[in-house]
Amino acid sequence: MLIVGEGTALLLESLGKPYVLVPRTHRYGEHVDDHQLEMADAMERQGIEIARSPGDLVRFLSAPKAPKIAADDEALCQALSACCAHSTHKKMMLVCSSGGHYKAMMRLAAFWQKFQSVSWVTFRNPTAEADLRDCSGQVHWAYSPTNRNIPNLIRNLLLAFKVLRDDRPDVILSTGAGVAVPFLLLARYVYGSQVIFVESKTRLKRLSLSAKILKALSGFDELIVQSRELADLYPEATFVDSHVPMEVIDPRQGDGEINSLSFRDSVLIRTPPCLGARESHLMLARLNSLEENPPSRIVLDMSETRSIDGAGLGTLVDSLKIAKSLKSKIVLWSVRPDIQAILATARLDRLFKIEESTQTIRTYVKPETQSPEKAASVRHQPIQRAIDFIAALLGMLGLVFLALPIALAIKLDSPGSVLYSQMRCGRLGKPFRVWKFRTTLMPPANSPHSSELTRLLAPKSRVGRFLDKTNLDKLPLFWNILMNDMSLVGSCAPPMSEVGSFSLQQWSKLDAKPGMSGEWAVSRGMIEFEDVVELDPQLQGDG
């Protein structure tokens, strides 16, 4: 069963039913704030199943369980007894909304049952009617809903005048939420009652709106919080740690294995928070293990993946290959927008089906505010970029003066085009086009299968030999540096046509931008011949 509030969780706990918490968020217009995300974090530490993505729902449904919510109510009751004693105060009024606020009040019965007279102000619902049917004191039903509802605020204010005038309580205890504001303000300023406000234990980092309003208007004598962060933020408040510490194994933390499960005819594999080289080998091993019993569909749940590098991109490509060999469909779930932007840059989004209905990831991180730069597990060096930019400007200035004479020399020396171009694979698989002055007698083929090594082995013209020796043929590469596709220093950018045959090690090299120095090293033969051939399957012979 799915739940969205603490009150429902407490009800299901009493019934012993399996449940999973689906926190409502402000981002999707489901709540006024994100306090349920805070509640989810607190409850997860106590062993409660939390569904932050569709993949979490699948994992829960595959093995549902009925956990227990641990809470130290005795400590809270002792703190309340220290604030006011039932021996000196006889009449108590309890003010709370429904749901979790009502359940929290009921758990404090050991404190308020000691008073001679106890009256209630809450919302009418079947649970409250059944619980308070035999209540010895008065029960007053407030008007709901109260969230940003001005008419009900006025109705509750009028009700507060009538109830407080008739009951005249010595102490008012409230666990929130909106209904508490008019009652507590009138009780304190008009009728002189002692007012105690107990903030919900689900409020870990920020006070609720009703608590903020009451605090700003000094609407209570005592504020009790159940979070260390709130206690540090409001030192005048009384801190009660009602959370019982429990040793809970985080289901996201594996013992060196990739979290996966089978459901129906599909396999769900959760990708790690950082998809890199180490995790890639584990993922591919898990995928290869499906060979004995291939599923009809492989689902990669990327809800936990916040960063990805070149090896991670290579893993996705290899996953696609394995799925095709198994004749299985492969889909991506819950891909964060920043990760999706990286996939789009590498043009991998065209190869995978990303199910848009699974994009509702419920975490504090707002995907729309994350940049692909932060999601990529690579180094960002602003100083190096500044050096590259200045060098590119100077290089482009030289190109302006030298382009025309070089072009005329190439044309007079041999027929063919002046420039040679090719699609290359840049940082994180980003495709870009390089331009160089032609150095060969015949123009190199611009087919998808042409390679840098093919061009290097072609016979050079007289002008081409001069351009190659002086590196003048690489002057147009300064444009690529200016456009941030390349750097001054880096490896040679491989052709896009060879991306499909990359190994994970070669994908890892794409964590950094390619460089002009790599192009110069290849033309000078300053790298091993086998390394170049490894990047060019077209030239790999049989022996």
Res 253: pLDDT:
43
Res 86: pLDDT:
66
Q: Is residue 431 part of a domain?
A: yes
Can you read off the two tokens belonging to residue 258?
Answer: 């990739």
160 and 270, same domain (yes or no): no
Count: domains in the chain: 4
Res 11: pLDDT:
63
18 and 146, same domain (yes or no): no
Q: Is residue 58 part of a domain?
A: yes
83 and 153, same domain (yes or no): yes
Q: What is the CATH number of the domain that holds 285?
A: 3.30.750.24
Q: Which of 148, 96, 158, 161 is nearest to 127 (CA)?
A: 96
- The CA distance from 455 to 458, in Å, is 5
Res 68: pLDDT:
63
Res 174: pLDDT:
94
Give the start-end residues of each E strand in 365-479. 419-425, 431-437
Res 243: pLDDT:
61
Question: Which residues neighbour 150 within 8 Å (Cβ) at sequence distance 6 or greater?
Answer: none
Res 246: pLDDT:
45
- The CA distance from 428 to 255, in Å, is 29
Q: Is residue 250 part of a domain?
A: no
Q: Is residue 67 part of a domain?
A: no
131 and 228, same domain (yes or no): yes
Can you read off the two tokens belonging to residue 531?
Answer: 């390394």
The parent domain of residue 219 ranges over 73-239
Distances in whole angstroms, Cα of residue 368 to Cα of each of 23, 34, 291, 364, 449: 19, 16, 38, 12, 38
DSSP state of 236: T
Res 225: pLDDT:
92
Q: Is residue 248 part of a domain?
A: no
User: pTM for the complete prediction?
Assistant: 0.63
Contact 253, 220 (CB under 8 A): no
pLDDT along the chain (543 residues), means of 10: 56 72 80 76 75 87 73 81 78 90 89 91 90 86 84 91 92 90 93 91 84 92 90 92 54 55 86 85 87 90 88 89 92 90 86 87 62 60 86 89 90 86 86 88 54 62 87 89 88 79 77 83 56 44 36
131 and 194, same domain (yes or no): yes
387 and 371, same domain (yes or no): no
296 and 410, same domain (yes or no): no
The single residue listed with the structure tokens 């929130």 is: 176
Res 87: pLDDT:
67
